[in-house]
Structure 1
Amino acid sequence: MDETPTALFNSYEQDFRHIILSISEKLEGSGKNQQGEQRKAALRKVEIELDEADDIVSQLEVEIQGIPQSVKPPYAARLKQAKADLTKYKKLSKDLHSQAARSDLLGSFKNGSSSATSDDPYGERSDRTRLLAGTETLDDGSRRIQASTSLALEAEEHGVDILRTLRGQREQIENSRNTLQAADTHIDRATGTIKGMIRQMYKQRIILSGIGVFFVVMVLFILYFKLVRK
């Protein structure tokens, strides 16, 4: 199995595109015409898929750090497009959630108005009360959505900080590894130099020993001729 950074990037990107296609089908395709509980279920499923897509984008950001600079630009462009698609469908999902909540409130208001017209002598005041209550509920829902969005953005910022820290640690490890490799190279060179010096020392020792033997033999030879064959 190929586990190079580019292969992993391609694999994660393929998973991301599959999820985005499913989200697009629910928000813009055939799922757009669903009503009631089916529509709500589809929107809940979209939220889950958006979370999965967000995780994959974070993984893409990790994998792109290991891609060589010579081939990195097209992958960076693909990552940018993936982020743009994710942002687009997050916004669309948020808008559709707001529309669904507003439709539920208006539907409840209409049903309440029908009952008040026939039975409640203070129907107008009751309708106004329901409208104010519905508006307050809608505002409360909007505030909750904004709070959730803020939490999501904060979590994303923390994730980016973590990725940045991991990238710095990875660079430090790579620098340490390069330093160790350079040290190994210098040690190998020093070892080779020392071995050469040792070989040279042995050669000199052999030469000096040979010269010493030669002089000893010559002295003995001279003494022999002077003392024995005198």
Structure 2
Amino acid sequence: MDPTPTSLFESYEQDFHHIIQSIREKLEGDGKDQRGEQRKAALRKVEIELDEADDIVSQLEVEIQGIPQSIKSQYTSRLKQAKADLTKYKKLSKDLHSQAARSDLLGGFRKGTPNSDDPYGEGSDRTRLLVGTETLNDGSRRLMDSTRIALETEEQGADILRTLRGQREQIENARDTLGRADTHIDKASVTLKGMIRQMYKQRVIIGAISAFFVILIGVILYFKLVRHR
């Protein structure tokens, strides 16, 4: 096979068309009339083929990068068409999956319709009521558990708040004690300063008295010794 970008592109494109044709037959051709498990199997096969087609489109995007600009536009158009086809059948497959799911659901309800032999058949109102009651009871139990946990959490929160309140009172008491201690220290400081000033005054007075007595003794000695000669 010629390994040029155009030949590789066309080879992948041909594979893509084969897969899209297979998907089209399953979704729009004879396969659309299938029912039940055959329809589910066909849809599963479509999903696999869509994944393969998606991979091929990715490979086409790679190969188109090597195609010369002179002819690249026509291959770009073919790539866009392949992407459009892939998108179309992905959406159709998704819609058919949803329809199949709804059919299964409605079929389950129809199977549960009561008949003369089984007035309380599978899926009957009584069965649904029992299931609903059990669900309600389960919800009530969960609600009670949630309420209990909430109450326990609230009680723990209250204990924490009480502890914090006690710690705050201790801090406030310690702050008040420190404030009173500061006041006493200030008063003691003032008292000490007064005592120091008083001490200095007393020293000055004692010095003055001492000087007076020294002068007085000197005068007496002068008169005793000098004047009586």
Which bin holds the TM-score, normalised by the shorter protein? 0.5 to 0.7
Match of 2:205 in 1: none
Q: 1:113: Cα distance to partner?
A: 1.9
Q: Distance in 2 between matches of 1:71 and 1:14?
A: 19
Q: Distance in 1 between matches of 2:92 and 2:129?
A: 31
Q: Given the alignment of the two structures, is residue 73 of structure 1 paired with residue 73 of structure 2, yes or no?
A: yes
- Code of the residue aligned with 1:124 in structure 2: it is D
| C-alpha spacing 1:55/1:21, structure 2 compared with 1 (3 Å) | same
Q: Distance in 2 between matches of 1:66 and 1:12?
A: 14
- Code of the residue aligned with 1:68 in structure 2: it is P
Report SS of the residue matched to 1:107. Answer: helix
Higher relative contact order (CA 8 A, sep 6+): 1
Q: 1:56: Cα distance to partner?
A: 0.1
Match of 1:39 in 2: 39
Q: Distance in 2 between matches of 1:106 and 1:129?
A: 20
Q: Which sections of structure 1, spanning at least 5 residues, go unmatched?
A: 132-230
Residues 116 and 126 of structure 1 are in contact (CA less than 8 Å); yes or no, is this contact kept in structure 2? no
| C-alpha spacing 1:5/1:109, structure 2 compared with 1 (3 Å) | same
| C-alpha spacing 1:100/1:34, structure 2 compared with 1 (3 Å) | same
Report SS of the residue matched to 1:52. Answer: helix
User: TM-score, normalised on structure 1?
Assistant: 0.53
Q: Distance in 2 between matches of 1:102 and 1:55?
A: 30
Residues 64 and 76 of structure 1 are in contact (CA less than 8 Å); yes or no, is this contact kept in structure 2? yes
Residues 120 and 126 of structure 2 are in contact (CA less than 8 Å); yes or no, is this contact kept in structure 1? no
Higher helix residue share: 1
Deviations 1:92-122 (A, max 9, x none): 0011011111101110111112359942299
Matches within 5 A, 1:175-194: none
Q: Percent of aligned positions with the same letter in both sequences? A: 73
Match of 2:125 in 1: 124
Q: Given the alignment of the two structures, is residue 50 of structure 1 paired with residue 57 of structure 2, yes or no?
A: no
Residues 114 and 124 of structure 2 are in contact (CA less than 8 Å); yes or no, is this contact kept in structure 1? no
Q: Which runs of 4+ in 1 moved over 6 A?
A: 128-131
Greater radius of gyration (CA): 2
| C-alpha spacing 1:116/1:64, structure 2 compared with 1 (3 Å) | farther
